[in-house]
Amino acid sequence: MPTPTSRSRQGYRLLEWLRRVPVEDPVERRNAPMLQGILLAFGLVVPMTAALRWSQHLPIGEIDVGGELLGLARIGFAWIAFYLVRLGYFRFAAGLFIASELTGLAFAYAVYGLKAQLPMQVVHAFPLVLGGLLLGRRALWWIAAALLAIATAGAAHDFQTGLLPFLRVEAWSNLLAVLLGFGGIAIVLDRAVSALRESLGTATRRGQELVRARDRLEREVVERERTQAQLTHALKMEAIGRIASGIAHDFNNILAVVLGYASRPGAAADTETAEKSLNGIRAAARRGTLVAQRLLNLGRNDAARVERTDVATAVEAMQPLLAQVFDGRVRVTLSIARRPLPVRIDRGGLELALLNIATNARDAMPDGGGFDIRASLRDGSEGRQVLLTLSDTGAGMPTEVAARMFEPFYTTKPRGAGTGLGLSDVRRLVAETGGSIEVDSTPGDGTTLRIALPSAEPATDAAIALPSGVRVLLVDDDDALRDVLAGALRDAGAEVVEARGGDEAERHAVAGVEAIVTDFELPDVCADELLPRLLTGRPPVPVVLISAHAYAHERCAATVPSLASLRKPFATADLVDALARHLRA
């Protein structure tokens, strides 16, 4: 027995089938299911009622043969109209059905008269309503005129058959009522159809306006995107020009120093002079390296080479380079704590940051002054920190300039004398290490920068050590480097299994290693192919990848779930530290 849900699904499928007709006009397409439903009902219900009448076994003489034949003809026209709607001939099908109904009414009124049809007047108005809704105003009035003519013919029949005067008066009275009824229905339908068509026309026009507005908006969006792309390109070109101009300015200074030292008189004969010249050239070359690194840092995606760095040692090593930045009119003083000041930072980035700050201080003191660097250890709410304080006695900055000094490409220097990238690199470096930077500047009273970096004192890292007896597979084809690394790992308490290449590493991997340290490029295989073979079928173990290439980590990270990387060159302590942290992670 069908359930209510199954019946509703069947009804939905029938409705969808009635909607699938090849009709282009949107109004006709919406009305097509209704017209087909009427035609189906007419084509099925009328034969059933006729069969019910015939089942009474009335004598042949009592059957209205003409009326029954007319009814069968109307049924046939209904099915023909339904077929035409399915083919897409909507208006023709509706007109054919309405015409067949009007023909039947004309026959009934002419044969039986108007009075006999009065009880069916509501049904007889059906062609008028259907024509007005489906075919429009013109068809409505043509159908109304046809109905009025049919009613008049029925009234004429009643007038002729009515022998008594009051019957004739009744015939004309019935005609007047029918005319008023059909006329009123026609007027109401005319107004309703007119309002519906006007509303539909308004909606269509507004829809078209919305489509045009959407198209215009899409064109504006495309134009805005094109303009934005042009503006972005222009900004990039301006930035590139400023970078190139600033870099060229810095390199011209470096080359001037190199040429000056190389052409010093007596350098070839005097060993001391030659040594000083070479040291000056070496310092200038190091400065050039840092300038180039600053340019590369602008778009780099690889991680910085973070390592344990003693800030005191790094600042003291920068003293010869700082002497090249300032001339004799600027007094440079260092106040460094007489103890190690370890932090975990990219040492090259730290040196570049100091150079950038010193360069800005030099430009702020064109007439000379003092530049002071202090480094000390302090305890604060965020733990132990290394505090770097860099002060100059230059012109200082107003509040609005100090607020923007770390923005990329922002500079107060003349065109061609700065890139606007130096201090933004300083802020990025400090943020990456988990530190903070503060600026204190007053016009006429100089500028002070305070950089606080998390301390990495040995006491802090004492808890981070290799577990005793941890078995480490060390893979590297360089015998000398492998010996050094193996010795450092053994000194840290590890048991080291050494391998020169991939085949040897696979043989040793079965010995139950708990960690792997491997070079990326080996004589017979690369680490991105070797590591999956070593780890397949075994519990995951920490892997430390050592390589000079930034892309090595990306190539291995996709297949190695627990991976850390060290960029060559590195200190052996960095390897022990990285492996210990990775094992404890």
As beta bridge partners, residue 518 has 475, 545
Contact of 546 with 566, CB cutoff 8 Å? yes
Share of the chain above pLDDT 70, in %: 74
Q: What is the pLDDT of residues 9-19, one digit of tens each?
A: 666 677 777 77
**At residue 164, does pLDDT exceed 80?**
no
Higher pLDDT, 14 or 511: 14
| pTM, 2 dp | 0.38
pLDDT band at residue 301 using 50, 70 and 90 as cut-offs: very low
CA proximity to 99, closest of 65, 64, 134, 68: 134
Best-predicted range by mean pLDDT (173-187, 459-473, 506-520):
506-520
Residue 454 has which token pair?
């998390």
- Would you call 584 helix, strand, or coil by DSSP? helix
Q: Kind of pairing, strands 383-392 and 447-454? A: antiparallel
pLDDT band at residue 268 using 50, 70 and 90 as cut-offs: low
The pLDDT value recorded for residue 296 is: 55
The pLDDT value recorded for residue 418 is: 47
Q: Tokens 């440079």 appear where?
A: 332
The pLDDT value recorded for residue 64 is: 63
Q: What is the pLDDT of residues 557-576, one digit of tens each?
A: 877 877 888 777 677 777 88
The pLDDT value recorded for residue 524 is: 86
What is the architecture of the domain spanning 463-584?
3-Layer(aba) Sandwich (3.40)
Dihedral over alpha carbons 13, 14, 16, 21 (to 10 degrees): 150
Where in the sequence of the chain do the CATH 3.40.50.2300 domains occur? 463-584
Average pLDDT over residues 527-546: 84
Average pLDDT over residues 414-426: 55
Q: What is the pLDDT of residues 539-562, one digit of tens each?
A: 788 888 888 776 787 788 877 877
**At residue 275, does pLDDT exceed 80?**
no
The pLDDT value recorded for residue 374 is: 92
Q: What is the pLDDT of residues 202-212, one digit of tens each?
A: 877 888 888 88
Q: What is the pLDDT of residues 239-254, one digit of tens each?
A: 556 556 656 666 766 6
In CATH, which superfamily holds the domain spanning 274-459?
Histidine kinase-like ATPase, C-terminal domain (3.30.565.10)
**At residue 42, does pLDDT exceed 70?**
yes
Q: Kind of pairing, strands 515-519 and 369-380? A: unpaired
pLDDT band at residue 381 using 50, 70 and 90 as cut-offs: low
Q: What is the pLDDT of residues 166-185, one digit of tens each?
A: 556 677 777 777 777 777 77
Residue 124, amino acid: H
d(CA 2, CA 250): 88
Where in the sequence of the chain do the CATH 3.30.565.10 domains occur? 274-459
